[in-house]
């Protein structure tokens, strides 16, 4: 729960999708927001008419100088940052074998290392005010690796594990951490925010190849509503005990709960082997 009636949100990746809808709803509530995108012109309209409460800034999270500048301008203008939403990032699809080194590294620079950098820059502000909420937009792919999305899933799994450690470190300081894991939503993720390396190996036609083809085919017909997702994200910041995980969408909920139940069953089936790897009692 934020400690002020007009909290300050810093949202990355506001030009489209979740980031844009979230920024719009935050400002519609009369709250304050730093809205960012690699091209600030794409978010200028969000700040129009709310210049006293909104700051539209350029931010490529892979550029350390821009990360530092955004946090400095946010604190100079508003004096605090209550909610950081790490939304910037994009998808990369390829079979694991056919993944291209430069594209894999670019994926991690944006989805992982850039997210780490902006969070590190904001944490001193939140520690000083003894409150804050870090919201990391990961994906159902942060909990499940689907064929064709191995490297995207790896980037989101990395953020999930890092968020566990972050929550343990900053929880005692009054800072909350939530990972939001959307399933398929009707954004332009597949149109603007997806890079693919087409699979040309016949052995992957029915796995990675089929899933990559279906991603584009289903774009624009997904069940998930970005506005309702943004409203859910706002609500989680208003509770005194926000969840560590928030899966969004029926597909995501069903897929994640089924996978986790199956994983637990599998781990428990090997309990004797797991326990048997320790030294004998008293050794």
Q: Report, as residue numbers or ranges, the catalytic residues.
A: 152
For 210-254, give the DSSP string.
HHHHHHHHHTT--SB-HHHHHHHHHHHHTSSS--SEEEESHHHHH
* Residue 269 burial by Cβ neighbours in a 10 Å radius (0-12, 13-18, 19+): exposed
DSSP string, 71-128: HHHHHHHHS---EEEE----EEEB-TTT--HHHHHHHHIIIIIHHHHHHHHHHHHHHH
What is the number of other CB atoms lying within 10 angstroms of the CB of residue 96?
A: 15
User: CA-to-CA distance for 9 and 35, rounded, in angstroms?
Assistant: 8
Report in angstroms the alpha-carbon separations of 107 from 200, 230, 248.
21, 24, 23
CB atoms within 10 A of CB 153: 21
CB half-sphere exposure, 74, CA atoms < 13 A: 31
Distance CA(156)–CA(90), nearest Å, equals 11
Pair 28, 100: CB distance under 8 Å: no
First-to-last alpha carbon distance for the chain, in angstroms, is 48
Task: Say how far apart CA 270 and CA 76 lie, in whole Å.
Answer: 55
């Amino acid at each position: 729960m934020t400690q002020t009636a007009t909290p300050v949100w810093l949202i990355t990746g506001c030009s489209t999708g979740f980031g844009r809808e979230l920024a719009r709803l935050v400002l519609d509530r009369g709250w304050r927001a730093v809205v960012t995108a690699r091209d600030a012109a794409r978010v200028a309209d969000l700040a129009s008419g709310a210049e006293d409460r909104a700051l539209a800034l350029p931010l490529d999270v892979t550029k350390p100088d821009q990360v530092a500048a955004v946090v400095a301008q946010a604190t100079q203008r508003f004096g605090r940052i209550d909610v950081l939403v790490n939304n910037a990032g994009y998808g990369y699809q390829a079979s694991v074998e056919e993944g291209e080194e430069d594209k894999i590294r670019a994926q991690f620079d944006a989805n992982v290392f850039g997210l780490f950098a902006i969070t590190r820059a904001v944490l001193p502000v939140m520690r000083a005010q003894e409150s804050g909420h870090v919201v990391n937009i990961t994906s159902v792919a942060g909990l499940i690796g689907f064929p064709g999305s191995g490297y995207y899933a790896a980037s989101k799994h990395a953020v999930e594990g890092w968020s566990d450690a972050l929550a343990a470190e900053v929880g005692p300081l009054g800072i909350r951490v939530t990972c939001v894991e959307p399933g398929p939503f009707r954004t332009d993720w597949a149109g603007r925010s997806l890079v693919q390396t087409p699979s040309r190996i016949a052995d992957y036609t029915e796995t990675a190849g089929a899933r990559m083809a279906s991603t584009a085919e289903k774009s624009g017909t997904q069940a998930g509503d970005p506005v309702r997702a943004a409203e859910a994200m706002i609500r989680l910041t208003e509770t005194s005990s926000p969840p560590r995980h928030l899966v969004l969408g029926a597909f995501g909920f069903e897929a994640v709960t089924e996978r986790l139940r199956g994983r637990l069953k599998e781990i428990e089936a090997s309990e004797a082997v797991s326990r048997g790897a320790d030294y004998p009692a008293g050794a």
